[in-house]
Amino acid sequence: MTQIQQRLIDAAAALQASRDNGSAIGRISERFDVHTLEDAYAVQELNTERALKAGRRLSGRKVGLTSLAVQQQLGVDQPDFGMLFADMEVLDGGVIDCSRLIQPKAEGEIAFVLKRDLPAADTTLAELLSAIDYVLPALEIVDSAIENWKITLVDTVADNASSALYVLGKQPVQLSDLDLSLEGMTLWKNGEQASMGVGVACLGNPIDACLWLARTMAKAGRPLLAGDVVLSGALGPMVPVVKGDRLTLRLTRLGEISCCFI
């Protein structure tokens, strides 16, 4: 085993221990000298394999860094991705135990659910559109293992793109006749508006984010499959949450979902 491989293994173990212990750690990019995007995804993959061997199931993927402003802030020109597992799902109206989280925040998003596999690295837009079964409103609960969210691109990618939990609506909506670039979003916390946005903030259109993900995951050897959930990226700023908070997400045509934190 090379020194680089050992550093990646140690970084993955440190992130997993942080999650298990519920305590934040310093940047793994500095502590373990992880500085390339390739190495960051290698760390993510190590913990993905660890989770699968422990019996967890993949239920989809998430896209992050879909805001051009955030990309410019981090000096990147593309989104990132993370894994969604079945045990990360929270039902609409459900209760989230804050002891599962370290320093959570919430984002309002649009979710796609697929009805067929997308195995090709050159997946076309037409193939993607024909593979989408329906769309739903979604809340993503993001949570960084890195102290005070002082993350670099490498840190968030290695930490499964800072993904923790997700909430989906229960009323599927067909994609036909929807212009998702114009889908408005408001996120309310404890009865007060905390975030707002629109579909165009997500790479111009959440469908474009989904297409990027389909192609990227095929190249990475973990293609999107029938039944997978795709969280296509935040439509507005993240909202910090703590024990006792209640969130309500409202999308213009896709409906409303909620959850609370105990």
Q: How many CB atoms lie within 10 A of CB 211?
A: 20
Is the distance from CB of 94 to CB of 167 less than 8 angstroms?
A: yes
Residue for token digits 């975030």? 195
Nearest to 141 by CA among 115, 164, 123, 121: 164
Is the distance from CB of 241 to CB of 76 less than 8 angstroms?
A: no
Is the distance from CB of 155 to CB of 36 less than 8 angstroms?
A: no
pTM: 0.95
Helical packing angle, 37-53 and 3-21, nearest 10°: 60
**Domain map (residue ranges) of the chain:** 58-261
Residue 150 has which token pair? 């002082």
Say yes or no to pLDDT of 32 above 80: yes
Is the distance from CB of 157 to CB of 8 less than 8 angstroms?
A: no
- CB-hemisphere CA count at 13 Å for 124? 3
Nearest to 170 by CA among 256, 251, 78, 238: 256
DSSP track, 69-120: HHHHHHT-SS-EEEEEEGGGEEETTEEE-GGG-SSEEEEEEEEEEESS-B--
Mean pLDDT of the chain: 95
Is the distance from CB of 78 to CB of 71 less than 8 angstroms?
A: yes
> What's the pLDDT tens digit per position in 153-199?
999 999 999 999 999 999 999 999 899 999 999 999 999 999 999 99
Q: Which amino acid is at 217?
A: M
**% the chain with pLDDT above 90:** 91
Cα–Cα separations (whole angstroms), residue 7 to 37, 73, 81, 152, 220: 14, 27, 22, 18, 21
> What's the pLDDT tens digit per position in 52-82?
999 999 999 999 988 776 666 666 778 999 9
Dihedral Cα 91, 13, 3, 82, nearest 10 deg: 10
Compute the chain's Rg from CA coordinates: 17
pLDDT reported for residue 242: 97
- CA separation for the pair 98, 103 (Å, rounded): 9
Residues 16-30, mean pLDDT to the nearest whole number = 96
Domain 58-261 class, CATH top level: alpha beta
